[in-house]
Amino acid sequence: KAGVTQTPRYLIKTRGQQVTLSCSPISGHRSVSWYQQTPGQGLQFLFEYFSETQRNKGNFPGRFSGRQFSNSRSEMNVSTLELGDSALYLCASSLGRGQYFGPGTRLTVT
Amino acid sequence: TQLLEQSPQFLSIQEGENLTVYCNSSSVFSSLQWYRQEPGEGPVLLVTVVTGGEVKKLKRLTFQFGDARKDSSLHITAAQPGDTGLYLCAGGGGSQNSGGSNYKLTFGKGTLLTVNP
């Protein structure tokens, strides 16, 4: 089975722009979660989608949003980028306990 | 807010040595997972423990979940350079008023392990 894939792997944006990241889960996995990883804060939960519905949400501002499609693929969007949004964004899919992560998208905001 | 504290933050040892890393919380978790992450990659799931007092072994790695389901440890026997990486613990579920869910993991900040040949 193919693992979780994320595109793009690397992205450079400037402050004020918006960005969309994509995630394809493992086939058969309906839950997709997104995390932000930074050196200072570690891995922080953004949100989780299941069957196209946001089921759990972390403590991030409304500039961070996501959606899930009927084929379980998910996208997350960050609007009005700030320097502090520079991070590794990780997507994970799951069937239950235990999450399977993609390689991440490295976002740099300049 | 659920928090997981990992210790030590950094660990540098020689090949063949044994080591233990710890993951502690004041909150109860319904499950606890351990991951290893290498530079430029996403975390890889090593194990999930769900029962208080549970011990799981994965080759040279031994994982233990505390009786009260608030803490966990990872012991590596005869460490090898290939064990080098960032070890992360993550708690799933929790008390109802903490908003916990097995799909909304709370991660510790990790233990960065370096095994020197």
d(CA B55, CA B49): 8
Q: Which amino acid is at A77?
A: N
pLDDT at B23: 96
Query: How does strand B55-58 pair with strand B61-65?
Result: antiparallel
Q: Does B44 touch chain A (CB under 8 A)?
A: yes
B103 falls in which pLDDT band (50, 70, 90)? confident
- Residue B56 parent element (H or E): strand B55-58
> Nearest-5° angle of CA A74, CA A39, CA B96?
60
Q: Does B101 touch chain A (CB under 8 A)?
A: yes
Is residue B99 scored above 50 in pLDDT? no
Q: pLDDT (tens digit, 9 = 90+) per residue, B41-95? A: 999 999 999 899 999 999 999 999 999 999 999 999 999 999 999 999 999 875 4
SS3 A32: strand
Which positions 70-89 of B are in contact with A (Cβ < 8 Å)?
A: 88
SS3 B103: coil
d(CA B111, CA B9): 5
Residues of B in contact with A23 (CB under 8 A): none
Nearest CA in chain B to A6: B42
SS3 B40: coil
Q: Which among B31, B42, B109 is the nearest to A97, CB-wise?
A: B31
Q: Does B42 touch chain A (CB under 8 A)?
A: yes
> Nearest-5° angle of CA B76, CA B108, CA B42?
75
Chain-chain contact of A33 with B31 (C-beta, under 8 angstroms): no
* Residue B102, min C-alpha distance to chain A (Å): 6
Residues of A in contact with B50 (CB under 8 A): 97
Provide mean pLDDT across the span A20-48.
94
B33 falls in which pLDDT band (50, 70, 90)? very high
d(CA B116, CA B63): 23
Q: What number of C-beta contacts closer than 8 Å exist between A and B?
A: 64
The values of phi and psi at residue B47, to 5°, are -160, 155
d(CA A108, CA A12): 5
* Residue B61, min C-alpha distance to chain A (Å): 18
Chain-chain contact of B33 with A98 (C-beta, under 8 angstroms): yes
* Residue B68, min C-alpha distance to chain A (Å): 19
SS3 B96: helix
CA distances, B39 to each of A10, A45, B6, B84, B93 (Å): 14, 20, 19, 10, 28
The candidate with the shortest Cα–Cα distance to A56, out of A28, A35, A77, is: A35
d(CA A23, CA A58): 18
pLDDT at B30: 86
For residues A86 and B1, the model is more confident at A86
Is residue A109 scored above 80 in pLDDT? yes
